Amino acid sequence: MVKANIPAGQEHIEGLGLEMLNNSDLRLIHEATMEVLENIGIETKDPEALQLYADAGCEVDFEKGVAKIPEYVVMDAIRSSPSRVRLAAVDKKKDLVLRSGPYVNWAPFGVGIEFLEFDANGKHRVRASTEADLKKSMTICDWCDGFSVADPTIAARDWTENGRADLHEVSTALCNTTKPFTFGEPEANGFEDYFEMAKLVYGGDEELARKRPLVNVCNCPTSPLQICDNSTQITIRAARNMIPNVVISMSMAGGTGPVTPEGTLVTQNAEVLADIVLAQLAEKGAPVTYGTATTIMDLRNGIASGGAPEMALFSAAVAQVSRFYGIPCGDAAGCWTDSKVPDAQAGFEKGLTAMVPALAGANLIFGGGLLEMGQTISLEQLVIDNDVIGMINSMLKGMNITDSRILMDDIEEVGIGGHFIARASTRKAMSEQSSPLVFDRNMRGPWEKKGEKDAALVAHEKVEWILENHDPCGLDRDVVKDLEAFVARRDKEFLK
C-alpha cells in the first residue's frame, strides 16, 4: 500500500491550484538553461565525474575542471530519469511514491545544527544539537500525520569529533521512525556503511536491502554552477546503487545567483540538471528528484532569507519546471521562516512559504520544525507546522461541485429557518472538516478557563505527551542492538 498524495488542482478535475508559469515561460527557461550548460558549463574537480561527462560527448576541460553539456545529453538524461520514485520505509505500508505531477507531500527540515529548548515564560535557550535531540525530533515526526516522511531534522553534534556522527544519525533515524527518510548529511565514503545498516534491518537480506534502500540521500550543488567532489560522488554512488537522491540547489538571488528571480531560476535549473545528467550517466534509470531551497540574499544585511515571499515563488516555479521535465519535485523548500522562536513572524512566513508551492503542486515540501533559516530546530514548531500542513491539505481539496455534494434534498427538507446539525449527511461529513490540534477555535471564555495558553505552549504540552506516549520504533530489539554495535565498532575505528 502506498501512502496517498494530496492533489493540487492542476491537471485535476478537482482541487485548488496555482500555475504561475505558462508554456512559453517554461520553454524560455529551458532554452536559457541549455545556453548556460553548453556555453558556460559546470565546474567539478572530480576526475570520475569529468570522465563520465566526456564519455557522453560533453566538451570537458580537465585542467580547469569544467564540463560543457550539450542539449542532447541533457535531454537523454531527462528521458531516462524516472517519473516515479519510491521512498521505502521500515513499514512497507508507509512507502511514499513521489510522482511527477501536482501531488503534494510534506517533510520536516533537515539538517539543523542548533536545538531550541522551550521555556513556558518565553525565555527559550538555544544550544548545539545532540543525538538525544535527534531521537526526540524523529519521534515527533513519526507521530505527526502531516509528514509523509520523517527526515532527520538535526545533527548529532556531540559525535562530530568523538565518532562517526553520520552513522549515529542514520541509526537514530532507522530506530525511531517507520516512515521513509532522506539523510541530509551523507558522506560519499559512507555508502557501504549505510548499506550494511539497512541490511541489518532486513535481517542480513542483501537482495532486499538493494531492492528497498532505506537510507535515501540528498546533495547540493555549490552555486553558481559548481558541484563539489563529495556531491558528485554522492550522485554517482547513489545512482549505481539505485538509491533515491534529491538534488537541491540553494542559490541566492543577488548573491550566488543573478539578482532577478528569473535569472536565478535559470542558473539553479542548470545546476540541478547537470547533477541529474551525472546520475543518469553513472546509471541509466537512476532514481533522482529535482529539489530547491533557492531564495534571495537580503541585500540590506547580506543574509539569505527563508521567510521571504521570493522563496515561495522559487519553490512554486520549480514545481512547474520539474513537471515540465517529467521529474518528481522533491524537496521544495516551504514552511520556512527567519524567526528565531515560534511566534507571529514564524506563523506568517511558514504559512506563506508552505501554501504557495503546495498550490503549485510541489511533490515534497520540506521545512517543518525549522527556525532561523534552518539553523535551529524546535520540537514545538514541528507540532505547530503539522497543524499548518493539515489545514493547507484541506484547502488543496478545493470544492467538488456535483449533485451529490450540493445536498439539495437536505436543503429542501430543512427549508427556511431550520438547521442542518442533526442531518445524517452532517454527521457523515464531519471528518472532512479541518480540525487543528494546536490552534484554538474556542471563544475567549473557554480559552481562559483552559489557562489562556498560546499555540506555542499548547504545542509544548503536546510534545511532552508524544515523547511520553508514542513509541516510534518499528524494529526488533535485537536489530536495534545490532545497529548500536555496528556504530560502536565504526566509532572505535574513527578514533584510532
Task: Supply the pLDDT for residue 2.
Answer: 44
Task: Supply the pLDDT for residue 290.
Answer: 98
The C-alpha angle 67, 72, 73, rounded to 5 degrees, equals: 45
- Compute the distance between CA of residue 174 and CA of residue 166 in angstroms, rounded to an integer: 12
Domain ranges across the chain: 6-396
> Taking each helix axis from N to C terminus, what angle separates 131-143 and 455-469, rounded to the nearest 10 degrees?
100
Q: If DSSP codes are grouped into helix, strand and coil, which group holds residue 410?
A: helix
* Residues 482-485: contacts with CB under 8 Å, at least 24 apart: 482/200, 483/171, 483/174, 483/175, 483/197, 483/200, 483/201, 484/171
Task: Supply the pLDDT for residue 89.
Answer: 98
CATH architecture of 6-396: Alpha-Beta Barrel (3.20)
The C-alpha angle 147, 150, 154, rounded to 5 degrees, equals: 120
Task: Supply the pLDDT for residue 9.
Answer: 59
Query: pTM score, two decimals?
Result: 0.94
Q: Which residues make beta-bridge pairs with 385?
A: none
Task: Supply the pLDDT for residue 13.
Answer: 42
> Which residues have C-beta within 8 Å of that of residue 315, sequence separation ≥ 6?
292, 294, 332, 333, 334, 353, 356, 357, 360, 362, 365
Residue with the three cell numbers 548573491 = 255
Q: 249-268 in b/e burial notation, b at 16+ Cβ within 10 A?
A: bbbbbbbbbbeebeebbbbb
Task: Supply the pLDDT for residue 12.
Answer: 47
Neighbours of 340 (CB within 10 A): 17
DSSP 5: P
Task: Supply the pLDDT for residue 455.
Answer: 96
β-strand 125-128 against 114-117: which pairing, if any?
Answer: antiparallel
In angstroms and rounded to an integer, the radius of gyration of the C-alpha atoms of the chain is 23
Q: Average pLDDT across each block of 10 residues of the chain; the chain has 496 residues. List them in order.
A: 57 72 98 98 98 98 98 98 98 97 95 95 93 98 98 96 97 98 92 97 97 96 97 97 97 98 98 98 98 97 96 98 96 96 97 97 97 97 98 93 95 96 95 93 96 96 98 97 98 95
Q: Say how many Å lie between the first and final Cα of the chain, rounded.
A: 45
Peptide bond connecting 111 to the previous residue in cis, omega within 30 degrees of 0: yes
